Structures are given as structure tokens and as C-alpha cells.
Amino acid sequence: MDKADRHLVEHVLVWDPYGWPPADRTFVKFGMTPQRLFERCLQIVSAARYNRGLSPQEVAQVGQLARAVARHRPMKSRSARRGAASAATAGQSVS
């Protein structure tokens, strides 16, 4: 894992308790959309499985990243689900 990957992993892990990192901060810091960030995280996790040269700290961070990626789907999918849920509840009456 190189320095750029470590910064990206740290960024995602800092935001993990609050959800996926905000699009504006991710774009300013890394020049990536949330979808691209998600894809890059998948690549980092996948590559780490074959990298025997990771430090114990990096192994722990990649494990945390894998759990974060599993919890948070790409923003596009979550937005679509939220839109569908809003549309479904819009027709319900409130009593």
C-alpha cells in the first residue's frame, strides 16, 4: 500500500462512523467521485489479500476498510433507495 492509498484509507475510516465520506470533501482531497472512491477501496482491499509486505497497522486498517466498504454501498445506490422510499411514503397519510 503506497502513501496515496494510506491517505485514502484514513479518509474513509475517519468518516466511517458518520457514513460514507461526503462527495465534496472526497473530490477536493482526492479528485474522485463517491462511486470512484468506493471502487478504489474495493481495489485496495482486494490487492491487500495478496500483499505480504503490509505492516500490522496496514493489515488492521485494510480490515477496517473492508468492513466499512461492506457497510456502505456507493452513494448512487443509496440515493436511489432513499428516493424510492420517499416516493413510497409520500402517498401514505399521517394520523
Of 68, 55, 90, nearest in space to 16 by CA: 68
DSSP track, 71-95: H---HHHHHHHHHHHHHHHHTSPP-
Span 59-89, pLDDT tens digits: 999 999 999 999 887 655 444 445 544 444 4
For 10-52, what is each residue's pLDDT tens digit? 999 999 999 899 999 999 999 999 999 999 999 999 999 888 8
Query: What does the alpha-carbon distance between residue 15 and residue 5 come to, in Å, rounded to a whole number?
Result: 16
- Alpha-carbon span 95 to 86, nearest angstrom: 18
- pTM given for the model: 0.71
Residue at grid coordinates 477501496:
41
